[in-house]
Amino acid sequence: MAETPLTASQADALSGATDGDLDFAYPTIGESPYYTTAFRCWEKVVRVLKAVNALRAYKDGALTFGVRAGTYMDGGDVREYAGAAGQALTNNAVNYVWLTAAGTLAVGTSGFPAPSATPHVPLATIETAGGDYAHADITDCRGRAIFGCVSALTAADMNVLHAWADPDGLARADLAAEPAAGCPVPLTLCRNADGTVLDGSGGAGKFLIHSFGWGAGHLKLEGQGAQGDTKTDTLCFEFALPPEYVAGGDVELVVHARRAGAGAAGTCTIDAEVYELDAEGAAGFVRASDAEALTGDWADHAFDDITATNLAPGDRLMVFVRTSVEETGGEDVLAAEIGRIEVRLDIKG
Protein backbone atom coordinates (compact mmCIF):
# COMPACT_ATOMS: atom_id res chain seq x y z
CA MET A 1 0.00 0.00 0.00
CA ALA A 2 1.35 3.45 -0.95
CA GLU A 3 2.16 6.03 1.71
CA THR A 4 -0.64 8.65 1.96
CA PRO A 5 0.53 12.13 0.89
CA LEU A 6 -0.76 15.48 2.19
CA THR A 7 -4.06 16.60 0.75
CA ALA A 8 -4.08 19.74 -1.44
CA SER A 9 -5.52 21.87 1.38
CA GLN A 10 -2.94 20.50 3.88
CA ALA A 11 -0.11 21.23 1.47
CA ASP A 12 -1.40 24.75 0.72
CA ALA A 13 -1.64 25.40 4.47
CA LEU A 14 2.16 25.25 4.66
CA SER A 15 2.38 28.48 2.58
CA GLY A 16 4.77 30.86 4.39
CA ALA A 17 5.09 28.52 7.39
CA THR A 18 8.35 27.54 9.12
CA ASP A 19 9.11 24.08 10.48
CA GLY A 20 10.53 24.67 13.95
CA ASP A 21 12.54 21.42 14.15
CA LEU A 22 14.43 21.99 10.89
CA ASP A 23 14.10 25.79 10.78
CA PHE A 24 12.72 25.22 7.27
CA ALA A 25 10.77 28.09 5.61
CA TYR A 26 8.15 27.15 3.01
CA PRO A 27 7.54 29.53 0.06
CA THR A 28 4.42 31.70 0.18
CA ILE A 29 1.85 31.10 -2.55
CA GLY A 30 2.03 33.87 -5.12
CA GLU A 31 5.25 35.44 -3.81
CA SER A 32 7.50 37.06 -6.38
CA PRO A 33 10.16 36.14 -7.12
CA TYR A 34 9.30 32.65 -5.83
CA TYR A 35 12.59 31.05 -6.87
CA THR A 36 14.77 32.74 -4.19
CA THR A 37 12.80 31.09 -1.41
CA ALA A 38 12.67 27.86 -3.41
CA PHE A 39 16.45 27.82 -3.78
CA ARG A 40 16.80 28.40 -0.03
CA CYS A 41 14.50 25.41 0.54
CA TRP A 42 16.45 23.17 -1.78
CA GLU A 43 19.77 24.19 -0.21
CA LYS A 44 18.38 23.24 3.21
CA VAL A 45 17.10 19.92 1.85
CA VAL A 46 20.47 19.11 0.27
CA ARG A 47 22.29 20.01 3.49
CA VAL A 48 20.05 17.72 5.55
CA LEU A 49 20.33 14.92 3.01
CA LYS A 50 24.14 14.95 3.13
CA ALA A 51 24.02 13.27 6.53
CA VAL A 52 21.60 10.66 5.18
CA ASN A 53 23.85 10.16 2.15
CA ALA A 54 26.83 8.99 4.24
CA LEU A 55 27.84 5.38 3.47
CA ARG A 56 24.91 5.01 1.03
CA ALA A 57 25.24 2.35 -1.68
CA TYR A 58 24.32 3.51 -5.20
CA LYS A 59 24.19 2.15 -8.77
CA ASP A 60 26.99 3.20 -11.11
CA GLY A 61 26.97 0.44 -13.75
CA ALA A 62 25.20 -2.67 -15.01
CA LEU A 63 26.91 -4.95 -12.48
CA THR A 64 28.81 -2.45 -10.35
CA PHE A 65 27.98 -0.19 -7.43
CA GLY A 66 29.51 2.59 -5.37
CA VAL A 67 29.44 3.65 -1.71
CA ARG A 68 29.46 7.28 -0.57
CA ALA A 69 32.06 8.53 1.91
CA GLY A 70 31.15 8.61 5.58
CA THR A 71 32.21 8.31 9.19
CA TYR A 72 31.41 5.65 11.78
CA MET A 73 32.65 4.48 15.19
CA ASP A 74 34.72 1.35 15.81
CA GLY A 75 34.57 1.07 19.59
CA GLY A 76 36.30 4.23 20.76
CA ASP A 77 37.93 4.91 17.38
CA VAL A 78 36.54 7.12 14.62
CA ARG A 79 36.77 5.53 11.16
CA GLU A 80 36.74 7.73 8.06
CA TYR A 81 35.63 5.83 4.95
CA ALA A 82 36.66 7.59 1.73
CA GLY A 83 34.00 5.96 -0.45
CA ALA A 84 34.37 3.70 -3.47
CA ALA A 85 33.06 3.28 -7.02
CA GLY A 86 32.94 0.57 -9.67
CA GLN A 87 32.68 -2.30 -7.18
CA ALA A 88 31.86 -5.63 -8.81
CA LEU A 89 28.65 -7.54 -8.09
CA THR A 90 27.79 -11.21 -8.59
CA ASN A 91 25.18 -11.69 -11.28
CA ASN A 92 21.88 -13.46 -10.58
CA ALA A 93 22.32 -13.21 -6.83
CA VAL A 94 21.53 -11.14 -3.77
CA ASN A 95 24.73 -9.27 -2.95
CA TYR A 96 25.33 -8.23 0.68
CA VAL A 97 27.45 -5.11 1.14
CA TRP A 98 29.12 -4.13 4.43
CA LEU A 99 32.10 -2.34 5.98
CA THR A 100 34.39 -4.19 8.37
CA ALA A 101 35.39 -2.58 11.65
CA ALA A 102 38.75 -1.68 10.08
CA GLY A 103 37.06 0.12 7.15
CA THR A 104 37.32 -2.50 4.40
CA LEU A 105 34.40 -2.74 1.96
CA ALA A 106 33.15 -6.32 1.63
CA VAL A 107 30.62 -8.00 -0.67
CA GLY A 108 29.23 -11.52 -0.32
CA THR A 109 26.28 -13.63 -1.40
CA SER A 110 25.76 -15.67 1.79
CA GLY A 111 24.30 -12.98 4.02
CA PHE A 112 25.80 -10.50 6.44
CA PRO A 113 28.37 -11.95 8.85
CA ALA A 114 27.44 -12.61 12.49
CA PRO A 115 28.23 -9.43 14.47
CA SER A 116 29.67 -11.49 17.35
CA ALA A 117 32.25 -13.02 15.00
CA THR A 118 32.79 -10.11 12.60
CA PRO A 119 31.90 -6.62 13.85
CA HIS A 120 30.70 -4.65 10.81
CA VAL A 121 28.40 -1.94 9.44
CA PRO A 122 25.71 -3.40 7.11
CA LEU A 123 25.18 -1.07 4.15
CA ALA A 124 22.84 -2.66 1.59
CA THR A 125 21.65 -5.65 -0.35
CA ILE A 126 21.67 -5.50 -4.16
CA GLU A 127 19.75 -8.09 -6.18
CA THR A 128 21.04 -8.66 -9.72
CA ALA A 129 19.56 -10.62 -12.61
CA GLY A 130 20.34 -10.99 -16.31
CA GLY A 131 23.52 -8.93 -16.09
CA ASP A 132 21.93 -5.81 -14.58
CA TYR A 133 19.84 -4.42 -11.74
CA ALA A 134 17.53 -1.46 -11.12
CA HIS A 135 17.84 1.29 -8.56
CA ALA A 136 14.87 -0.26 -6.77
CA ASP A 137 16.89 -3.48 -6.36
CA ILE A 138 19.10 -1.71 -3.80
CA THR A 139 17.78 -2.19 -0.26
CA ASP A 140 19.31 0.19 2.28
CA CYS A 141 20.41 -1.75 5.38
CA ARG A 142 22.22 1.00 7.30
CA GLY A 143 19.34 1.12 9.76
CA ARG A 144 20.55 -2.21 11.17
CA ALA A 145 23.58 -0.40 12.56
CA ILE A 146 21.38 2.33 14.08
CA PHE A 147 18.31 0.56 15.42
CA GLY A 148 18.04 -2.67 17.40
CA CYS A 149 15.98 -4.52 19.98
CA VAL A 150 18.19 -5.13 23.01
CA SER A 151 16.00 -7.96 24.34
CA ALA A 152 16.54 -9.93 21.14
CA LEU A 153 20.35 -9.81 21.26
CA THR A 154 22.34 -12.90 22.16
CA ALA A 155 24.99 -12.86 24.88
CA ALA A 156 27.70 -12.76 22.21
CA ASP A 157 25.99 -9.78 20.52
CA MET A 158 25.81 -7.99 23.87
CA ASN A 159 29.53 -8.54 24.38
CA VAL A 160 30.26 -6.96 21.00
CA LEU A 161 27.95 -3.98 21.65
CA HIS A 162 29.44 -3.56 25.13
CA ALA A 163 32.92 -3.61 23.62
CA TRP A 164 31.96 -0.83 21.17
CA ALA A 165 30.89 1.31 24.11
CA ASP A 166 33.65 0.06 26.43
CA PRO A 167 36.56 -1.72 24.73
CA ASP A 168 37.73 -3.01 28.12
CA GLY A 169 34.56 -5.11 28.32
CA LEU A 170 35.19 -7.29 25.25
CA ALA A 171 34.74 -11.00 25.96
CA ARG A 172 37.77 -13.21 25.34
CA ALA A 173 35.80 -15.33 22.83
CA ASP A 174 35.27 -12.24 20.63
CA LEU A 175 38.98 -11.37 20.44
CA ALA A 176 41.20 -12.25 17.52
CA ALA A 177 43.51 -15.22 18.14
CA GLU A 178 47.24 -14.56 18.38
CA PRO A 179 49.29 -17.55 17.18
CA ALA A 180 52.52 -18.71 18.82
CA ALA A 181 52.59 -16.18 21.66
CA GLY A 182 55.71 -16.77 23.76
CA CYS A 183 55.51 -17.69 27.46
CA PRO A 184 59.07 -17.79 28.91
CA VAL A 185 59.82 -20.40 31.56
CA PRO A 186 62.11 -19.02 34.31
CA LEU A 187 65.26 -21.16 34.39
CA THR A 188 65.37 -20.84 38.18
CA LEU A 189 62.07 -22.79 38.37
CA CYS A 190 63.42 -25.81 36.51
CA ARG A 191 64.21 -28.96 38.48
CA ASN A 192 66.16 -32.16 38.03
CA ALA A 193 64.33 -35.09 36.47
CA ASP A 194 63.87 -36.59 39.95
CA GLY A 195 62.15 -33.41 41.15
CA THR A 196 65.07 -32.08 43.20
CA VAL A 197 66.05 -28.43 42.93
CA LEU A 198 68.80 -27.39 40.53
CA ASP A 199 71.81 -25.87 42.24
CA GLY A 200 75.24 -24.49 41.41
CA SER A 201 76.99 -27.85 41.65
CA GLY A 202 75.02 -30.20 39.42
CA GLY A 203 75.90 -33.89 39.39
CA ALA A 204 75.38 -37.10 37.48
CA GLY A 205 72.52 -36.61 35.02
CA LYS A 206 71.82 -33.11 36.33
CA PHE A 207 72.12 -29.56 35.03
CA LEU A 208 73.57 -26.85 37.20
CA ILE A 209 72.53 -23.22 37.41
CA HIS A 210 75.38 -20.99 36.32
CA SER A 211 74.87 -17.45 37.60
CA PHE A 212 77.72 -15.05 36.98
CA GLY A 213 76.57 -13.14 40.05
CA TRP A 214 76.69 -9.54 41.17
CA GLY A 215 77.82 -7.07 38.54
CA ALA A 216 77.30 -9.51 35.67
CA GLY A 217 73.75 -10.83 35.96
CA HIS A 218 74.26 -13.60 33.41
CA LEU A 219 72.28 -16.83 33.84
CA LYS A 220 72.25 -20.16 32.01
CA LEU A 221 71.96 -23.88 32.68
CA GLU A 222 74.99 -26.13 32.11
CA GLY A 223 75.18 -29.89 31.76
CA GLN A 224 77.99 -32.16 32.87
CA GLY A 225 81.34 -31.90 31.11
CA ALA A 226 81.97 -34.79 28.73
CA GLN A 227 85.61 -35.81 28.19
CA GLY A 228 86.21 -38.99 26.25
CA ASP A 229 82.71 -40.14 27.12
CA THR A 230 79.01 -39.21 26.86
CA LYS A 231 77.06 -37.16 29.40
CA THR A 232 73.28 -37.13 29.51
CA ASP A 233 71.41 -34.56 31.61
CA THR A 234 67.68 -34.04 32.14
CA LEU A 235 65.63 -31.23 33.62
CA CYS A 236 61.90 -30.83 34.09
CA PHE A 237 59.26 -28.22 34.82
CA GLU A 238 55.49 -28.03 35.15
CA PHE A 239 53.59 -25.64 32.88
CA ALA A 240 49.91 -24.70 33.34
CA LEU A 241 48.10 -23.62 30.18
CA PRO A 242 46.86 -20.06 30.91
CA PRO A 243 43.25 -18.79 30.61
CA GLU A 244 44.22 -17.05 27.37
CA TYR A 245 45.09 -20.36 25.67
CA VAL A 246 42.79 -21.34 22.76
CA ALA A 247 41.53 -24.86 23.47
CA GLY A 248 43.05 -27.30 20.99
CA GLY A 249 45.40 -24.62 19.64
CA ASP A 250 49.06 -25.16 18.81
CA VAL A 251 51.55 -25.68 21.65
CA GLU A 252 55.27 -25.51 20.89
CA LEU A 253 58.27 -25.97 23.18
CA VAL A 254 61.32 -23.91 22.20
CA VAL A 255 64.71 -24.42 23.89
CA HIS A 256 67.58 -22.06 23.06
CA ALA A 257 70.68 -24.20 23.50
CA ARG A 258 74.11 -25.23 22.22
CA ARG A 259 77.11 -27.45 23.04
CA ALA A 260 80.09 -25.51 24.37
CA GLY A 261 83.76 -26.25 24.92
CA ALA A 262 86.92 -27.17 23.01
CA GLY A 263 86.34 -30.93 22.98
CA ALA A 264 85.86 -33.03 19.84
CA ALA A 265 82.14 -33.48 19.27
CA GLY A 266 80.65 -36.87 18.59
CA THR A 267 76.90 -37.41 18.66
CA CYS A 268 75.26 -34.47 20.49
CA THR A 269 71.48 -34.18 20.73
CA ILE A 270 68.66 -32.35 22.50
CA ASP A 271 65.26 -33.90 23.07
CA ALA A 272 61.99 -33.30 24.91
CA GLU A 273 59.09 -35.29 26.29
CA VAL A 274 55.78 -33.66 27.22
CA TYR A 275 52.98 -35.18 29.28
CA GLU A 276 49.48 -34.01 30.10
CA LEU A 277 48.72 -34.43 33.81
CA ASP A 278 45.30 -35.25 35.20
CA ALA A 279 43.95 -34.20 38.60
CA GLU A 280 45.60 -37.23 40.25
CA GLY A 281 48.98 -36.48 38.68
CA ALA A 282 48.76 -39.36 36.21
CA ALA A 283 50.35 -38.61 32.85
CA GLY A 284 49.63 -39.23 29.19
CA PHE A 285 52.02 -38.56 26.30
CA VAL A 286 51.41 -35.46 24.17
CA ARG A 287 54.95 -35.56 22.78
CA ALA A 288 57.19 -38.61 22.67
CA SER A 289 60.98 -38.60 22.39
CA ASP A 290 62.37 -37.45 19.03
CA ALA A 291 65.86 -35.96 19.36
CA GLU A 292 67.56 -33.43 17.08
CA ALA A 293 71.22 -32.44 16.70
CA LEU A 294 72.77 -30.06 19.22
CA THR A 295 75.41 -27.88 17.51
CA GLY A 296 78.10 -25.52 18.69
CA ASP A 297 76.00 -22.45 17.82
CA TRP A 298 73.20 -21.03 19.93
CA ALA A 299 69.93 -21.98 18.24
CA ASP A 300 66.21 -22.34 18.91
CA HIS A 301 65.24 -26.00 19.04
CA ALA A 302 61.52 -26.05 18.35
CA PHE A 303 59.52 -29.11 19.39
CA ASP A 304 56.25 -28.33 17.61
CA ASP A 305 54.84 -31.86 17.30
CA ILE A 306 52.95 -31.66 20.61
CA THR A 307 49.50 -33.24 20.28
CA ALA A 308 47.21 -30.46 21.51
CA THR A 309 43.83 -31.72 20.26
CA ASN A 310 42.42 -32.31 23.74
CA LEU A 311 44.28 -29.55 25.59
CA ALA A 312 42.34 -26.71 27.23
CA PRO A 313 43.05 -23.70 29.47
CA GLY A 314 44.04 -24.84 32.96
CA ASP A 315 45.54 -28.16 31.84
CA ARG A 316 48.94 -29.00 33.31
CA LEU A 317 51.89 -30.14 31.24
CA MET A 318 54.94 -31.95 32.62
CA VAL A 319 57.92 -31.14 30.40
CA PHE A 320 61.28 -32.92 30.34
CA VAL A 321 64.28 -31.60 28.39
CA ARG A 322 67.26 -33.90 27.87
CA THR A 323 70.67 -33.27 26.31
CA SER A 324 73.25 -35.88 25.36
CA VAL A 325 76.82 -34.74 24.61
CA GLU A 326 79.56 -37.08 23.35
CA GLU A 327 83.23 -35.97 23.43
CA THR A 328 85.57 -38.24 21.44
CA GLY A 329 89.01 -36.64 21.86
CA GLY A 330 89.54 -37.32 25.55
CA GLU A 331 91.59 -34.17 26.13
CA ASP A 332 89.09 -31.29 26.22
CA VAL A 333 85.59 -30.90 27.62
CA LEU A 334 82.19 -30.45 25.97
CA ALA A 335 78.96 -29.57 27.80
CA ALA A 336 75.39 -28.65 26.92
CA GLU A 337 74.18 -25.12 27.71
CA ILE A 338 70.59 -23.77 27.83
CA GLY A 339 69.97 -20.03 27.71
CA ARG A 340 66.17 -19.82 27.39
CA ILE A 341 63.10 -22.05 27.51
CA GLU A 342 59.80 -20.88 26.09
CA VAL A 343 56.35 -22.37 25.52
CA ARG A 344 54.55 -20.83 22.54
CA LEU A 345 50.77 -20.95 22.46
CA ASP A 346 47.76 -19.85 20.43
CA ILE A 347 46.03 -17.34 22.69
CA LYS A 348 43.11 -14.89 22.86
CA GLY A 349 43.64 -11.91 25.14
The CATH number that domain 178-347 falls under is 2.60.120.200
Contacts by residues 94-100 (CB-CB < 8 Å, ≥ 24 positions apart):
94/125, 94/126, 94/127, 95/125, 95/126, 95/127, 95/128, 96/122, 96/125, 97/57, 97/65, 97/67, 97/122, 97/123, 97/124, 97/125, 97/126, 97/141, 98/122, 98/123, 99/55, 99/67, 99/72, 99/123
* Ranges of residues in the chain whose predicted pLDDT is under 50: 152-153
Q: pLDDT tens, 47-96? A: 877 878 899 999 999 999 999 999 988 877 888 999 999 999 999 999 99
- pLDDT score at 154: 53
| d(C-alpha 184, C-alpha 343), whole Å | 6
Question: How does strand 230-240 pair with strand 251-260?
Answer: unpaired
Buried b (16+ CB within 10 A) or exposed e, 310-319: ebebebebbb
pTM: 0.55
- pLDDT score at 35: 85
User: How far is the CA of 104 from the CAs of 83, 111, 123, in angstroms?
Assistant: 10, 17, 12
Task: Delimit the domains of the chain by residue range.
Answer: 8-45, 57-174, 178-347
Q: pLDDT tens, 309-332? A: 999 999 999 999 999 999 999 999
| d(C-alpha 54, C-alpha 68), whole Å | 6
Count of CB atoms situated within 10 Å of the CB of 5: 8
- pLDDT score at 145: 81
| d(C-alpha 32, C-alpha 11), whole Å | 19
> Taken in order 54, 55, 60, 62, is the CA torsion positive or negative?
negative
Max Cα–Cα distance, the chain, nearest Å:
117
| d(C-alpha 213, C-alpha 217), whole Å | 5
- pLDDT score at 66: 95
Whether residue 185 contacts residue 242, with contact meaning beta carbons closer than 8 Å, is answered with no
